[in-house]
Amino acid sequence: MRYWALFCAIGAAVSMLAAFPRARRERLLRRHGRTAIGICRGHLNPEEEGGPMRVRCGIRTYPEQKGEIWVVVRTHDRIPQVGEQFTVVYDPEDPLHAESLEVIRESRMWGYGDIVCLLLWVCAFLIYGGCTALAAD
């Protein structure tokens, strides 16, 4: 039983970090991200129906930068028009990982995918634990 508990705990931790990179990326941006002014360059369709609109924008990670870095960010409520400025949060180590400030403010510590993953691992732990307990009797 001890080994199944250890396996489930390690598996849950790994899947929380690896299986849901968007939630992980949002948490990292919330903690370590820097803000920049993004200029909307175009609109893209949502990744999923009813999901947030995606916006292609250009950002400058420091003021004296000559060109722009083009990133795609998501927006929920307010979709900026082409040429309009809005705030973007980016990862200083990899500026291509960016999100709009609106999405970062709205996201929670635990996203929907994180909760589903946790519930799956709890169910697996209970099933494996039950089977192990029955086999031990």
- If residue 97 lies in a helix (H) or strand (E), which one and from where to where? strand 94-100
**Mean pLDDT of the chain, nearest integer:** 79
For the question of whether the overall pTM of this predicted structure is more than 0.75, the answer is no
Separation CA 88–CA 73 (nearest Å): 8
CB 100 within 8 A of CB 73: yes
Strand, coil or helix: 86: strand
Q: Tens of pLDDT along 59-99?
A: 988 877 788 889 999 887 788 999 999 999 999 898 888 98
Q: Where are the alpha helices (DSSP H) in the chain?
A: 2-18, 21-32, 101-106, 112-136
